[in-house]
Structures are given as structure tokens and as C-alpha cells.
Amino acid sequence: MSSKFSHTLSKVVLGSLALYFLYLFSQVINVVNRRHLGTNDGTYVNNTRSNKTLQKLAFSLTKNCLDNQCKTQNILDYVSNIPYVVNNFTAHLPTQTIEKNFGDCDDKSNLLISLLHALKIESYFVLVPKHIFVIVPFENIPSKKALYLNNRAYYILESTAKDSKIGYPLTYQVNEISTIFEPFENKKLNIDTLKYK
């Protein structure tokens, strides 16, 4: 009787381990799907983060601001003044970009959008050939051009241009934009009606 029980128990344990392994495998696939995005140039690795360190920094940088436009510009000022250095390896985490005090477009855009996310400011990544930048929706900003999706204006934030301002000029053709997405939900926007004006 005890050998039958041991045999049954072994099957239950092995079955449970197999189910647990399948669960872990599905979680890994889910993370990869959320963190990796295929583009015309290869794969973009999303290294955005949401944590207390970034939230504290975001609030500190914007403590004197009364609106999201001021908050966005203050965060852009901070990130755009981190020296631009090409990183030929995997994109840094936002906190690594702060610690190392340098980064390329991936690193700086990951930091920028993570800080905006900490303040609940709607923002999106824009992928173009060999570059990434961030856009934010605002009501009409006089004398600034914007990307328009469904009659809504999205202004460019260029993290690699020192002291850049909201509404940085688009230096690519609209048809070179391969993807616009929100990295925390991995939500792609439909760019069929995209215009720059």
C-alpha cells in the first residue's frame, strides 16, 4: 500500500512541477513580449521602469510646477543635460543612466519616459531608423509643430539634444516612423493617419 501511495505521490509531484514549469515559461514569454518590440532595424528592448527612486526624482524635479507642460519641460531639461554617449550594448536601466551620467537615445528615452510615467503624464515612444524619441500630447503650443493622430497633437521630446524644448522639430520623414507605443502597457498606436504640421 505504501509503495502505491509513493508512486501516486510521485506522479502528483511531477505533474505539479511540470505545471509550475509551464507557468514560469509563460511568464518569461510574457515579459519578453512586453520588453521586446520588432522594428525595421531589428529589435528594440524596452528598459522602462517604475520605482520609488524614479518617482522621488520626478517629484523633486517638478516641485515648483503647476501644470504638466512645466513638469514635462523640467524633466526634459534634466534628461537632455545628461551627456550623450553611444552605448553599443544593451540599453541601460533608467537608474543606470542616472548613475553613469551618460546614455544614448535608448538610455535617455527610457529615463525620460519613466520619469514622465512616475508623474502620470501620458507619453509614448516613437521608433524611427536607428533612433527613438518621446512624444506627449498637449493642447496647441503656439509656434510649435506636432505629430497629429486623430486630430490630437503630440509634441516631440528629444532627449539627446541638450537643453531641447517641448516641440522639437521632426528630423525624419513621417513615413520613416515605424511604431508609436506606450511602453508600460506595450500599447501600439495606429499611425495610419499620422501627420506632422
> 123-142, pLDDT tens digit by residue?
999 999 989 999 999 998 99
Average pLDDT of the chain is 87
Grid cell digits, residue 167: 516641440
Q: Which pLDDT does position 28 carry in this prediction? A: 46
Contacts of 110 (CB under 8 A, 6+ apart): 46, 47, 48, 49, 91, 92, 93, 94, 97
Confidence of residue 22 (pLDDT cuts 50, 70, 90): low
Average pLDDT over residues 104-115: 95
Q: Which pLDDT does position 47 carry in this prediction? A: 82
Alpha carbon distance 45, 153 (integer Å): 26
pLDDT at 10 > cutoff 90:
no
Phi, psi (rounded to 5 degrees) for 172: -125, 165
Q: Which pLDDT does position 77 carry in this prediction? A: 99
Contacts of 79 (CB under 8 A, 6+ apart): 108, 111, 112, 115, 159
